[in-house]
Amino acid sequence: MKQALFKDIKDFIKEQIENKVYLPDDKIPTEMELCKQFNTSRPTVNKALSELVLEGVVVRFARSGTFVTHQKAQTSILDLKNIADEINQRGNIYTNELIYLEEVKANIEIAKVLNIVKDQKIYVSQMVHKENDVPVRYDIRYIKPQIAPEYINQNFKKQTPSEYLQKTCPVQKVDNTIEATLVKDSIRKYLDISKEEPCLLISRIVISNDEVASYSKLYYPSSRYKLNSILESSSKNFV
């Protein structure tokens, strides 16, 4: 059975956005233009646009028109999926910028998390990840040298720190803590966000071979990313 015309209009607009005919913030055709294109009435077009607004695909402004919204990318909090793979799978271009990679002495806070003594040598890296040249995550990673001794010598243009560590250190356990936080100016500058915009922060401890291997702080700008998780159960009584 043929679907209602307003659904055809919705599908057409979504397809145009997916094919990048209309980009975020672009204005789409007016109600009158869509009426002529689909040979239909304004109420039919209005219903299609109203549903797209509810779905967060477009936003409408009186006297200005209808515009494509910024669709937030999403990442799972339950796995260690490589961010480069996530971005490439969405059909977008992944790039990164390595800000810092050094051997330093662990302070009290980091030593406690990594279960080492204060002033023990560790590796620290800081990197910003970009999707279509837009910053979408800032990482700070603290690594035990004995777990990944060659971490300090890697070219992270060829593979991300996460990808390298997953190959080097078999993951035994992951402990994630999630919070909303404002970030200091040095991070905000690389993420290109305002002082008022919070980030979603995942603080992640990875256990490998029965010891803490790394501690990471992953900052996601709240306007560009959302986190998701899916829990499946085979039990019919699961509520």
Q: Is residue 236 part of a domain?
A: no
Shared domain for 107 and 208, answered yes or no, is: yes
Both structure tokens of 238: 């699961």
Q: Is residue 233 part of a domain?
A: no
Shared domain for 82 and 58, answered yes or no, is: no
* 16, 51, 68 - which closes a domain: 68
Shared domain for 63 and 81, answered yes or no, is: no
Q: pLDDT digits over 164-188, tens only?
A: 998 888 888 999 999 999 999 999 9
Whether the per-residue pLDDT at 227 is higher than 80: the answer is no
Domain that holds residue 85: 73-228
* 16, 40, 68 - which closes a domain: 68
Q: Is residue 158 part of a domain?
A: yes
Shared domain for 42 and 127, answered yes or no, is: no
Helix (H) or strand (E) holding 168: helix 161-168
Shared domain for 47 and 134, answered yes or no, is: no
Q: Which residues pair with 207 in a beta bridge?
A: 173, 212
* 50, 68, 86 - which closes a domain: 68
Strands (E), the chain: 58-61, 65-68, 73-76, 94-105, 121-131, 134-143, 173-181, 199-208, 211-221, 225-228
pLDDT band for 2, please (50, 70, 90 cuts).
low
Structure confidence at residue 58 (pLDDT): 87
Total domains in the fold of the chain: 2
The average pLDDT across 69-82 equals 67
Quick check: 114 and 142 in contact, CB under 8 A?
yes
Q: pLDDT digits over 101-149, tens only?
A: 999 999 999 999 999 999 999 999 999 999 888 899 999 999 999 999 9
